[in-house]
Amino acid sequence: MALPLRLLRPLQTLRRDLGAATAMLRGQAPAPFADRDGGAWPPVRAPRSGRSLRVTAVDRLTDDAVRLRLQPEDSQPLPFRAGQFLVVSVDGPDGPARRAYSLCSDPRDPTGVAVAVKAVANGRVSPQLVHQTVVGDLLSVSGPSGAFGHPLSPGQARLHVLVAGGSGITPMVALLHDILATEPGSRAVLVVGNVRKRDRMLVDDLDALVTRYGPRLVVRDVLERPPPGWKAGRGRLDGPGLAAQLDALELAVAPSQCWYLCGPGGMLDACERWLLDAGLAPDQLAIERFTSGTPDAEPASFPATACPVTLRGRRGERTFSVAPGQTILTAARDAGVALPFSCTLGGCGACTQTLVSGQVHLPAPHCLSQAEQAAGAVLTCIGRPLGPVVLALREPT
């Protein structure tokens, strides 16, 4: 029986953290920005500098999407785990802006890394990356960050089912490389949805993976507006739409499987609910939620004066002021309080703390589900207090 959503997210977070811990035990480097030191009050660390990556190739994927192949300017490696993303900073006419883009290359590829970027209408970063970037440009990035995926083990022989919508395919390609290379006894099914045939991204990468791994990888292309003669899937990838594709694949939810979802928010919510109703256990499901960078409406008025924010940890309490316009994370760092964070964009959940009292405004989109927010989760990297606030620190596991 599926767990209620209020119990689902804590289990997913636990699984995510256990995955990161086991990855470290396997010798894989943790995400450089992923502090998890809440509960203690060490001096704040110096801000980590980003890195400069040279664009070595710009591959056009669709009319409005490119793959950027990148090499570190300092010639030092840039290790990442499949499913992670880079945060790219650009200077635009409205000032600096930062956005997260999933890595889509094989984590074992020693020649560099790649991200795939789709231009968002009226976006501040993606149109510049898609339409103006040329070979030789330098990109300022931070990361890699994120913990999307399941722990892998060479001894496993199981089925991985990946469901992607639109540009949600980008981390899936890296994950497929990793899954199929790490677990020789496992198989993978990818269900990928797009509106039209010309919207499909990274098709060559998927073809190369199918050629390399043969029957171990099945790709099911689904189009909302298929051209005449289209023989693969049709329709939207919502709950019933996903069910129809699984029927066509003769695939049913089973306990040993690992599932992955990445795509637009509406698709994720519908597919997540359908899968849980179908009996999928919460720890079988990994979800990556996009943040589009389009903020929702601000509250009518933020407090005009500084708000006190109190952090409760196992070593006691610490209170600092958050000035108007500041986020809780920024104010904490100004006050010398080290809190965990990673992307600083509301996209990864590394800065999550629990609201005890007060109100915190979180501009959408962000990575928290409604169930997590209902349970009191707040993101300090984008959260601004609407009055006095008390937060309980999440202790490291």
Q: Applying CB under 6 A, does 348 fall inside the site for ligand FES?
A: yes
Provide, rounded to whole angstroms, the least separation between the CB of residue 46 and ligand FES. 18
Of 163, 262, 339, 379, the residue at the interface with ligand FES (CB under 6 A) is 379
**First and final C-alpha spacing in the chain:** 27
Provide, rounded to whole angstroms, the least separation between the CB of residue 15 and ligand FES. 18
| C-beta of residue 236 within 8 angstroms of C-beta of residue 224 | yes
Of 194, 342, 353, 369, the residue at the interface with ligand FES (CB under 6 A) is 342
Length of the chain: 397
Q: Applying CB under 6 A, does 353 fall inside the site for ligand FES?
A: no
Q: Applying CB under 6 A, does 383 fall inside the site for ligand FES?
A: no
Q: Applying CB under 6 A, does 38 fall inside the site for ligand FES?
A: no
CA distance 232 to 192: 11
Q: Pick the closer one to ligand FES by CB: 35 or 106.
A: 35
Q: Which stretch binds ligand FES (CB under 6 A): 40-48, 171-179, 234-242, 345-353?
A: 345-353
Strand 65-72: give its sheet, edge to edge: 95-102, 85-92, 138-145, 51-62, 65-72, 113-118
The count of other CB atoms within 10 Å of the CB of residue 180 is 18
Provide, rounded to whole angstroms, the least separation between the CB of residue 219 and ligand FES. 31
CA distance 362 to 90: 23
150-155: long-range pairs with CB below 8 Å, 24+: 150/15, 150/19, 150/258, 150/260, 150/286, 151/18, 151/19, 151/22, 151/23, 152/178, 152/179, 152/182, 152/183, 153/182, 153/183, 154/182, 154/183, 154/184, 155/185
Give the list of residues 6+ apart from residue 294 with CB closer than 8 angstroms, or none: 120, 122, 365
Using CA atoms, how far residue 248 sits from 191, 216, 220, 221, 280, in Å, is 11, 18, 9, 12, 19
Of 149, 346, 365, 385, the residue at the interface with ligand FES (CB under 6 A) is 346
Burial (CB count within 10 angstroms: exposed 0-12, middle 13-18, buried 19+), residue 45: exposed
Q: Pick the closer one to ligand FES by CB: 98 or 160.
A: 98
Of 144, 264, 349, 363, the residue at the interface with ligand FES (CB under 6 A) is 349
CA distance 219 to 206: 8
In one letter, which amino acid is 296?
D
Q: Applying CB under 6 A, does 290 fall inside the site for ligand FES?
A: no
| C-beta of residue 201 within 8 angstroms of C-beta of residue 170 | yes
Name the packing angle between helices 239-248 and 265-277 (round to 10°): 60
Tokens standing for 321? 């002021």
Q: Applying CB under 6 A, does 351 fall inside the site for ligand FES?
A: yes
Of 166, 347, 363, 385, the residue at the interface with ligand FES (CB under 6 A) is 347
The count of other CB atoms within 10 Å of the CB of residue 280 is 19
Of 78, 82, 188, 343, the residue at the interface with ligand FES (CB under 6 A) is 343
Q: Pick the closer one to ligand FES by CB: 193 or 347.
A: 347
Provide, rounded to whole angstroms, the least separation between the CB of residue 350 and ligand FES. 5
| C-beta of residue 385 within 8 angstroms of C-beta of residue 359 | yes
- Residue with structure tokens 């919207």? 199
Q: Pick the closer one to ligand FES by CB: 164 or 351.
A: 351
Q: Pick the closer one to ligand FES by CB: 167 or 291.
A: 291
Q: Pick the closer one to ligand FES by CB: 128 or 344.
A: 344
Of 275, 381, 391, 393, the residue at the interface with ligand FES (CB under 6 A) is 381
Residues of this chain, 48-77, that bind ligand FES according to CB under 6 A = none
Q: Pick the closer one to ligand FES by CB: 285 or 367.
A: 367
Q: Which stretch binds ligand FES (CB under 6 A): 78-86, 188-196, 219-227, 346-354?
A: 346-354
Q: Pick the closer one to ligand FES by CB: 55 or 141.
A: 141
Q: Which stretch binds ligand FES (CB under 6 A): 3-11, 181-189, 293-301, 335-343?
A: 335-343
Interaction site with ligand FES (CB under 6 A): 341-344, 346-351, 367, 379, 381
